[in-house]
């Protein structure tokens, strides 16, 4: 029961040596912090890797379980799906924590097909393998990202969380927007996240038509951490245009809830 990598060789290097060198180059400062929740991008490493590394660098060294919410880009499988399959990357195998079985009977179902070709969770894993020594994951792909679903799944996960658990909300921000527009729109979504206000996030995403792919994943994390998280802080915002000049860009943010 191994979920083979689907994004290796495209979103990130499939060669182990090259992958490790690339990731190590993104970690510029000290590692280890007090994060309870992260917002991190899931684009190709060449574009979003430096932003993502800032988020991962705040993970507590003793993190043992990571819930990861990622949007379903492929449309495959159940609308809310976890999997019991272990995930394989060029850096090794990551097991799914047995607590995932507690989803039995809930709206989150066991469906490996939803994960098979989805990159929004996979791209985080090599970074986690680099930053942490011993951990398991609980991967949840969200095809449904509406406010009710976010609240219910977030409450469910919040009840399951223990002291050494962390949540990652996988999302990019504006997709293929002019640079100025991306900055203006994304700042509104980021402000709602920093306020830890999922209702406000839905409001601004709808009002300003922000093409943020994992808005419901972030809202789910905010609900899960409602009674746990402290200060939220933006570590970095950037776009693909910062790496390579282009007329339309994708926005990336590293946000941590301590």
Query: CA 244 → CA 26, 67, 129, 218, distances in Å?
Result: 17, 32, 28, 27
Residue 15 falls inside a structural domain: no
Residue 5 falls inside a structural domain: no
Residue 40 falls inside a structural domain: yes
pTM, full prediction: 0.97
Looking at residue 3, what is its pLDDT?
98
Looking at residue 232, what is its pLDDT?
97
Residue 50 falls inside a structural domain: yes
Looking at residue 28, what is its pLDDT?
86
Residue 41 falls inside a structural domain: yes
E strands, the chain, in order: 2-3, 37-40, 65-71, 80-82, 86-89, 92-94, 109-110, 136-142, 165-170, 175-178, 232-239, 248-257
Assigned token pair, 133? 């020594």
Residue 7 falls inside a structural domain: no
Query: CA 221 → CA 32, 145, 157, distances in Å?
Result: 21, 12, 9
We report the CATH number of the domain holding residue 166 as 3.40.830.10
Tell how far CA 128 is from the center of its chain: 11
Please count the CA atoms within 13 angstroms of the CA of 134 that sit on its side-chain side. 1
What parts of the chain have a pLDDT lower than 50?
Answer: none
Domain boundaries, position 106:
30-257
Residue 8 falls inside a structural domain: no
Report long-range pairs for 145-150 (Cβ below 8 Å, ≥24 apart).
145/71, 145/214, 145/215, 145/216, 145/217, 145/219, 145/220, 146/216, 147/198, 147/199, 147/202, 147/219, 149/80, 149/107, 149/216, 149/220, 150/198, 150/216, 150/219, 150/220, 150/223
Total domains in the chain come to 1
Helix (H) or strand (E) run with residue 122 in it: helix 119-122
Looking at residue 197, what is its pLDDT?
97
Question: pLDDT tens for residues 61-74?
Answer: 999 999 999 999 99
């Amino acid at each position: 029961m191994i979920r083979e990598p689907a994004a290796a060789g495209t979103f990130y290097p499939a060669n182990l040596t090259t992958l490790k060198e690339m990731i190590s180059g993104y970690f510029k400062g000290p590692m280890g912090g007090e994060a309870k929740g992260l917002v991190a991008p899931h684009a190709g490493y060449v574009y979003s890797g430096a932003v993502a590394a800032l988020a991962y660098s705040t993970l507590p060294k003793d993190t043992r379980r990571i819930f990861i919410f990622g949007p379903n880009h492929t449309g495959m499988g159940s609308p809310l799906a976890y999997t019991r399959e272990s995930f394989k990357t060029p850096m090794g195998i990551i097991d799914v924590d047995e607590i995932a079985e507690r989803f039995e009977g809930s709206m989150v179902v066991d469906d490996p097909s939803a994960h098979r070709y989805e990159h929004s969770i996979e791209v985080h894993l090599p970074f986690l393998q680099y930053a942490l020594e011993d951990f398991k994951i609980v991967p949840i792909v969200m095809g449904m990202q509406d406010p009710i679903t976010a609240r219910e799944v977030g409450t469910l996960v919040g009840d399951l969380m223990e002291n050494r658990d962390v949540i990652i909300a996988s999302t990019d921000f504006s997709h293929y927007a002019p640079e100025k527009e991306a900055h203006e729109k994304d700042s509104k979504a980021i402000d709602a996240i920093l306020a830890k206000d999922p209702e406000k996030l839905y409001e601004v995403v709808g009002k300003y038509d922000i093409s943020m792919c994992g808005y419901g994943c972030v809202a789910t994390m905010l609900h899960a951490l409602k009674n746990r998280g402290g200060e939220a802080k933006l570590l970095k915002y950037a776009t693909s245009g910062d790496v390579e000049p282009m007329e339309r860009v994708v926005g990336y943010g590293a946000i941590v809830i301590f």
